[in-house]
Amino acid sequence: MEAKKGATFTCTAVAVDGQRFRVTAHIVDSGGRIQISSSDVTPAG
């Protein structure tokens, strides 16, 4: 994946108890730094 400022991507995270979450990450610079806030994490259905 190319680090493009302003782009977003979605992935699935799995907690130690097996619960799955959909996470949307926002790329904040061309160096690949990402930002994730609590509103970007939702239970995966």
Residues 3-14: tens digit of each pLDDT: 889 999 999 999
The pTM of the full predicted model, rounded to 2 decimals, is 0.82
What per-residue confidence (pLDDT) applies to 45?
79
Given a contact cutoff of 8 angstroms between Cβ atoms, the answer to whether 44 and 21 are in contact is yes
In the chain, which stretches have pLDDT less than 70?
Answer: none
> Whole-angstrom Cα distance, residue 1 to residue 9?
9
Determine the Cα–Cα distance for residues 4 and 17; give it in Å rounded to an integer.
33
